């Protein structure tokens, strides 16, 4: 089963990445884009491809991978199908942290402050949700804690933006609550990708521990897994990757929910094996969603969160119906 | 009956206003002596045209150098935020307002029989002249108004291109990736400076989003940016720092026009046109 899954997902990522480079208002021919990518065309084409489209595609792929991976890891660790960075408040709190550093001018003075703010917000959210819901949380308490953290973070984000000195800030609430890749540059890539990569490594290192955890905590412990170390790596990995991602693109929901659910049956319900395929799946989904916002309304782009919610919300409905059927 | 209602409304809004007898319904004088302006654009005209003793209040924006070209003259003049109670307390004999701002206040003042003159934002140069003339008449300083218009026209003539040669192209690019298209005052200023507004030629009307890709591909001769002063950080203004735009800035002439010069159609618009003409001349010199 798994033999073909990873390569085919990787191919999909490459195809979606190429497609993402080809889409844009300037309407460049595919060959021109290819040449532009390697700096072989006129300065204008090179500028459009290398400075405008490439950072956008890179961020869509890496942020999508982050959200898919973090969703899969959280679901495995909390043994709860609804654990997802957006739903349990990590993205919202990361956005708040980023907003606080950006609009106070801290990130203008010290650019790393932006991802650090996002990651600090994410750490706070994970710890808060865990404290509120307890370690082996039931679905209800986890979701309640997540809703509480999310709405509190959203309220504080709106408040901070309303109080921000810039006259544009209040209009940017939408960016932070729904997420967007519009106007992103290589500077954002350089700020976010290194932290995301460290986060991925930490999360990937949890794979075997998560597999063992399906047998129960005691069984996992008796197999020699240090559950506390596992938890630390998981929290840190999630916070680093989701925090950095949110700091440059806002809170993008549902990717971490939908992708692990879709792919779980294909890996035999093993949480460890789910991690890499969810990362690739998340990358594909966000690349496609970001192409959609550019194609559907080319003038004034939709926010990314709108598209992911349009895909994710019906899926959520289906999940609710499914769980009720199982309950009866 | 309207009088009784008026008193009630005042009482509800501001006790202070009730303490002043005859607060409402001041007589229409030839030369209003207590003028209140509620709008940034009327603020600037009032500050240009009227001696300060006759200005009872201007809006807080008119005193902000980021938005107002004559903020320096506003020192010591009380500020308002377009709220009815602020106006009633001052008992003005003339209130100037924009047609799009402080609508509730204007409606209330009209009901209370205050003299309110509204001003629509001008969209071209003749409308700017007409507006200066109208406000000067209303304020009873027609001569000063004519002098202001003459100075405005002198400056515009100096900025106009000499011959009917090829006109360099320009794009006004604002925060959030908004370009100014046809039918706007800024577009009229660009044309008056002898440049052609590329965004208008692309079919954009009014302020419209123009993607960074389009801008880079269009390659205007002059890139016109607004100066937001010491603007606080935001995503909207970060876009103007995008590496692609920085490259473009290195390759094209850049004209910086402070927001305060062309937000309103007043005499300060001529200064905006003069700066744009300077950029045009630089491009034409380079082009041979």
Please write the tens of the pLDDT for every residue from A48-94: 999 999 999 999 999 999 999 999 999 998 888 888 898 889 999 99
**Residues of chain A with C-beta less than 8 angstroms from the C-beta of B214:** 25-26
- Judge whether residue A262 has pLDDT over 80: yes
Beta bridge partners of B184: none
Structure tokens, B284: 């034409």
Average pLDDT over residues B261-283: 94
Which residue segments constitute the domains of chain A, with CATH numbers given?
2-327 (1.10.3470.10)
Tell me which chain B residue has its CA closest to the CA of residue A23: B213
How high does pLDDT run on average in chain A?
A: 91
How many angstroms separate the CA atoms of A217 and A228, rounded? Answer: 11
Instruction: Find out whether A237 and A202 touch, Cβ atoms under 8 Å.
Output: yes
> What is the distance in angstroms between the Cα of A12 and the nearest Cα belonging to chain B?
26
* B284 pLDDT higher than 70: yes
How near does any CA of chain A get to the CA of B81, in Å?
Answer: 16
User: How distant is the Cα of A48 from the closest Cα of chain B, in angstroms?
Assistant: 6
**Span of A1-5, A225-229, B197-201, B279-283 with lowest mean pLDDT:** A1-5
> Could you tell me what percent of chain B has a pLDDT over 90?
73
Supply the pLDDT for residue A298: 75
* CB contact B212 to A (< 8 Å): yes
Q: CA A268 to CA A5: how far, in whole Å?
A: 12
Q: State whether B217 and A26 contact (CB < 8 Å).
A: yes
Domains of chain B: 2-120 (3.40.50.1980), 164-287 (3.40.50.1980)
Q: B202 and B219 in contact (C-beta within 8 Å)?
A: no
Helix (H) or strand (E) run with residue A252 in it: none
β-bridge pairing B169-174 and B178-180: antiparallel
Q: What is the mean pLDDT of residues B174-202?
A: 93
Taking Cα atoms as reference points, which of B78, B66, B71 lies closest to residue B47? B71
Please report which residue ranges of A81-138 form alpha helices under DSSP H: 90-103, 106-109, 113-133
Q: Does B19 touch chain A (CB under 8 A)?
A: no
Find which of B40, B212, B218 to mutate to test the A interface (most A CBs within 10 Å of its CB): B212
Q: In Å, how far from its chain's centre is CA B26?
A: 28
Contact A237, A199 (CB under 8 A): yes
Residue B16 has pLDDT above 70, yes or no: no
Token code pair at residue A73: 């890891």
Would an 8 Å CB–CB cutoff place B40 in contact with chain A? no
- pLDDT score of B283: 92
Work out whether strand B169-174 and strand B222-227 pair parallel, antiparallel, or are unpaired: parallel
Of A53, A168, A299, the CB nearest to B176: A168
Mean local confidence (pLDDT), A311-326:
84
Interface touch B213/A25, C-beta < 8 Å:
yes
- Closest-CA distance of chain A to residue B207, Å: 12
Q: Report the predicted TM-score, pTM, of the whole model to 2 decimal places.
A: 0.85
| Residue-wise pLDDT tens digits, A106-150 | 988 898 999 999 999 999 998 898 888 876 667 788 888 989 999
Which candidate from B213, B233, B251 shows the least CB-CB separation from A103?
A: B233
B217 to chain A, any CB pair closer than 8 A? The answer is: yes
Q: Do A51 and B244 touch (CB under 8 A)?
A: yes
Residue A53 is given by DSSP the state I
Interface A-B, measured as beta-carbon pairs within 8 A, has a size of 81
Kindly give, in sequence order, each residue whose CB lies less than 8 Å from that of residue A184, ignoring residues fewer than 6 positions away.
Answer: A55, A56, A59, A248, A249
* Alpha-carbon gap, residue A211 to B221, rounded angstroms: 61
> B93 to chain A nearest CA, in Å?
33
Decide which of A177 and A2 is more confident: A177
Chain A contact for B209 (CB, 8 A cutoff): yes
Dihedral sign from CA coordinates of A129, A131, A137, A138: negative
Considering only CA atoms, which of A100, A102, A96 is closest in space to residue A125?
Answer: A96
Q: Which residues of A touch B244 (CB under 8 A)?
A: 47-48, 51-52, 185
Share of chain A above pLDDT 70, in %: 98
């Amino acid at each position: 089963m798994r033999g073909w899954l990873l390569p085919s997902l990787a191919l999909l990522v490459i195809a979606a990445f190429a497609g993402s480079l080809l889409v844009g208002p300037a309407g460049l021919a595919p060959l021109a884009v290819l040449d532009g990518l390697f700096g072989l065309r006129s300065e204008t084409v090179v500028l459009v491809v290398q400075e405008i489209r490439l950072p956008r595609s890179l961020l869509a792929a890496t942020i999508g991978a982050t959200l898919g991976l973090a969703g899969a890891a959280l679901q495995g660790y909390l043994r709860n199908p609804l654990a997802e960075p957006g739903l349990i408040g990590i993205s919202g709190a990361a956005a708040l942290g980023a907003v606080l550093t950006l609009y106070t001018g801290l990130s203008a003075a010290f650019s790393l402050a932006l991802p650090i703010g996002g990651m600090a917000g994410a750490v706070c959210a994970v710890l808060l949700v865990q404290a509120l819901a307890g370690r082996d949380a039931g679905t209800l308490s986890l979701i309640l804690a997540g809703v509480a953290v999310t709405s509190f973070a959203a309220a504080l984000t709106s408040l901070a933006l309303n109080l921000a000195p810039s006259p544009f800030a209040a209009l940017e609430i939408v960016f932070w609550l729904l997420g967007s890749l519009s106007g992103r540059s290589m500077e954002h890539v350089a700020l976010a990708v290194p932290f995301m990569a460290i986060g991925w490594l930490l999360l990937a290192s949890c794979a075997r521990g998560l597999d063992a955890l399906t047998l129960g905590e005691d069984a996992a412990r008796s197999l020699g897994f240090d559950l506390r170390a596992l938890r630390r790596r998981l929290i840190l990995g999630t916070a680093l990757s989701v925090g950095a991602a949110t700091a440059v693109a806002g809170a993008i929901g549902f990717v971490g929910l939908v992708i692990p659910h879709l792919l779980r049956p294909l890996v035999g319900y093993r949480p460890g094996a789910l991690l890499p395929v969810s990362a690739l799946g998340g990358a594909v989904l966000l690349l496609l969603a970001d192409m959609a916002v550019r194609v559907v309304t080319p003038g004034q782009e939709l926010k990314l969160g709108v598209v992911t919610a349009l895909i994710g919300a019906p899926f959520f409905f289906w999940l609710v119906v499914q769980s009720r059927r199982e309950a009866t | 009956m309207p009088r009784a209602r008026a008193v009630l409304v005042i009482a509800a809004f501001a006790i202070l206003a009730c303490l002043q007898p005859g607060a409402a319904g001041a007589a229409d004088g030839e030369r209003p002596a207590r003028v209140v302006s509620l709008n940034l654009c009327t603020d600037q005209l009032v500050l240009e045209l009227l001696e300060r003793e006759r200005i009872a209040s201007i809006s807080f924006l008119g005193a902000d150098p980021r938005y107002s070209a004559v903020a320096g003259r506003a020192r010591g003049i009380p500020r308002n935020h377009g709220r009815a109670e602020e106006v009633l307390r001052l008992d003005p004999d003339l209130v100037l307002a924009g047609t799009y701002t402080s609508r509730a206040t204007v409606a209330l003042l009209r009901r209370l029989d205050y003299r309110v003159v509204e001003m629509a934002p001008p969209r071209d140069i003749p409308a700017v002249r007409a507006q200066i003339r109208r406000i000067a008449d209303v304020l009873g300083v027609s001569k000063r108004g004519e002098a202001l218009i003459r100075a405005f026209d002198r400056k515009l003539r100096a900025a106009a291109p000499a011959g009917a040669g090829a006109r360099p192209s320009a794009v006004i690019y604002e925060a959030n990736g908004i370009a100014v298209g046809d039918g706007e005052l800024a577009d009229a200023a660009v044309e008056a400076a002898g440049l052609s507004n590329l965004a208008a030629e692309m079919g954009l009307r009014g302020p419209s989003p123009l993607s960074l890709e389009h801008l880079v591909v269009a390659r205007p001769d002059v890139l016109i940016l607004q100066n937001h002063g010491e603007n606080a950080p935001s995503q909207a203004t970060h876009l103007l720092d995008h590496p692609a735009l920085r490259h473009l800035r290195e390759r094209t002439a850049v004209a910086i026009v402070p927001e305060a010069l062309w937000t309103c159609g007043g005499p300060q618009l001529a200064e905006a046109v003069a700066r744009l003409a300077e950029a045009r001349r630089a491009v034409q010199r380079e082009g041979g």
